[in-house]
Amino acid sequence: MSTPPDGLPVYRVLTGPDDATFCHRVSEAIGLGYEPYEGPAVTFDGENVIVVQALIWPTRS
């Protein structure tokens, strides 16, 4: 597939608390064909660890 499904953008950024729900969201995007762009970024908001993962749709020849 040359473009992401369902009109999704080529570049996505997922954010959320570092929990199973976030991991499932990233895993779902990878399952659709997205690839992680670099490693995740992690911060602490005073209560929770927050993770950010950029994803890109690979260009295929």
Report the SS3 class of residue 13.
strand
pLDDT digits (tens, 9 = 90+) for 3-57: 999 999 999 999 999 999 999 999 999 999 999 999 999 999 999 999 999 999 9
Per-domain residue ranges of the chain: 5-56
- What is the reported pTM? 0.88
Distance of CA 10 to the CA centre of its chain: 11
Q: What is the pLDDT of residue 1?
A: 67
What is the distance between the alpha carbons of residues 27 and 12, in angstroms, rounded to a whole number? 13
Residue 28: Cβ within 10 Å count: 11
For 30, the enclosing helix (H) or strand (E) is helix 20-32
- Cβ 14 vs Cβ 25: under 8 Å: yes
